[in-house]
Structure 1
């Protein structure tokens, strides 16, 4: 049970902890288990924060994937002449 593991590890010092791979309590650093506490703590805090937001939000919006890609954009039409603009050489 998680509470039992936490209580036992909390009472020890240094890198002591529970190695779930071998199902034993040991010095995790000597056993080669490398999991920085700060990274684990931040991950748990962020997960709890997201879960709290989802539970307290009145509405959750998700993006439903669409099969239609919308196709290509329309081609740009050619530009017409600029006739009738006096004073500009060659454009009469």
Structure 2
């Protein structure tokens, strides 16, 4: 069909279909990342897909270089825990309508 313009990571991910079955499996995982991010956070799908790609690429590079896949997974889990902990420390409660409007404005990319 005709090309469309979007800034939505889920829309982009849904359109990706690859001929190679293994590559398509990877694309399917990225679609799932984007979809779950949209469901749980409502935004950030593009960032989530870029992060998923980087995590996969670095994990594969390490495993190809001889790292134990189970240890790579454990390392990813530890990193995730640490990042979530830091984000929770940096977060703060939105207390009034003005702050809600500011969050909505940023989320709407303007």
* TM-score, structure 2 normalization: 0.24
Higher helix share: 2
Structure with larger Rg: 1
Higher relative contact order (CA 8 A, sep 6+): 2
* TM-score, structure 1 normalization: 0.28
Higher strand share: 1
